[in-house]
């Protein structure tokens, strides 16, 4: 049933479907952790996590790849030349999304904030489950919406919602406040997760779509490492509010810069 559904989905909808299935797996994993934590403890939970990992790797060996038609020999093209062929508009978007990635501190800091206001470990895990449930529900409809109204409005809205989440977490100190912002964060993540990739594909020339996605993910990855370090440094050396303000600043900056991407 799932395979038939996946085959009928196109464009960013297919990406959204894939991300939704990934989100459901993460939700179920977190639910198992929530149920087993009081029984097994942290150490045994990590050992138990090896089981689905081993099963997943084993299943890959039974998947058969479709034979691709033979390709005509093409003239070798250097990486530098291919990067120069990428449209300026695409390069601008990669820069903008990289700036956002530098400030996107991610859900671990939301969990730290939950602990910071005094919530127990099992409640923090519940909030993680809640985030992924919201994400899994929203990712396909939001992907379909970006097909209809365009990628930019969804991405600008997503960046601004992340900024709003950062701002709200600065002032919240209650369980109800944390719950609401985990829900909002799930919506935000569903808005940008597949849409950013789809926008890269939209902006890239037909013969450079793979190259464009590779450059995009490389840029995001290179920014995520220092971004996480800066966020952690601000949290430890100054205050949690400093980290949240840092994320808010770069989210608003990215939203404004995204307007200039055609």
**pLDDT tens by residue, 37-96:** 677 777 777 777 777 778 878 888 887 766 655 555 555 555 555 677 888 999 999 999
Residue 122, pLDDT > 80, answer no
pLDDT of the residue at 2: 37
Run of H or E including 122: helix 121-149
Residue pair 119/175 in contact by the 8 Å Cβ criterion: yes
CATH code assigned to 12-60+82-258: 1.20.1250.20
pLDDT of the residue at 106: 85
pLDDT band, very low/low/confident/very high, at 107 (cuts 50, 70, 90): confident
Domain ranges of the chain: 12-60+82-258
Which tens digits make up the pLDDT trace of 15-37?
555 656 666 666 677 777 777 76
Residue 193 CB burial class (10 angstroms; 0-12, 13-18, ≥19)? buried
**CA-CA distance, 106 to 125, in Å (whole number)?**
15
Q: How many CB atoms lie within 10 A of CB 183?
A: 18
Task: Tell whether the torsion through CA atoms of 144, 146, 149 and 150 is positive or negative.
Answer: negative
Residue pair 147/13 in contact by the 8 Å Cβ criterion: yes
Between the CA atoms of 240, 243, 249 and 252, what dihedral angle is there, to the nearest 10 degrees? -90
Q: Mean per-residue pLDDT for 95-120?
A: 88
Average pLDDT, the chain: 82
Angle at 155 between CA 153 and CA 160, to 5 degrees: 95
Cα of 59 vs its chain's centroid, Å:
25
């Amino acid at each position: 049933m799932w395979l038939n559904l996946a085959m009928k989905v196109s464009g960013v909808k297919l990406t959204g479907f894939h991300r939704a299935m990934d989100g459901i797996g993460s939700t179920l994993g977190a639910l198992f952790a929530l149920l087993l934590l009081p029984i097994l403890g942290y150490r045994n939970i990590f050992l138990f996590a090896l089981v689905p990992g081993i099963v997943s790797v084993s299943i890959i060996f039974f998947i058969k790849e479709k034979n691709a038609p033979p390709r005509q020999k093409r003239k070798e093209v250097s990486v530098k030349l291919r990067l120069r062929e990428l449209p300026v508009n695409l390069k601008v978007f990669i820069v903008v999304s990289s700036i956002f990635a530098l400030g996107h501190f991610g859900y671990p800091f939301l969990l730290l904030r939950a602990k910071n206001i005094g919530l127990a470990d099992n409640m923090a895990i519940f909030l993680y489950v809640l985030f992924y449930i919201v994400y899994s529900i929203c990712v396909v409809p939001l992907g379909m919406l970006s097909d209809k109204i365009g990628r930019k409005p969804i991405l600008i809205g997503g960046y601004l919602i992340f900024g709003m989440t950062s701002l709200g977490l600065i002032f919240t100190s209650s369980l109800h406040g944390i719950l609401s912002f985990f829900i909002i964060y799930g919506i935000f993540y569903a808005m940008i997760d597949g849409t950013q990739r789809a926008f890269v594909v939209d902006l890239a020339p037909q013969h450079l779509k793979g190259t464009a996605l590779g450059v995009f993910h490389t840029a995001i990855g290179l920014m995520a490492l220092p971004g996480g370090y800066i966020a952690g440094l601000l949290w430890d050396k100054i205050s949690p509010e400093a980290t949240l303000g840092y994320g808010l600043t770069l989210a608003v900056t990215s939203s404004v810069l995204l307007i200039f991407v055609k």
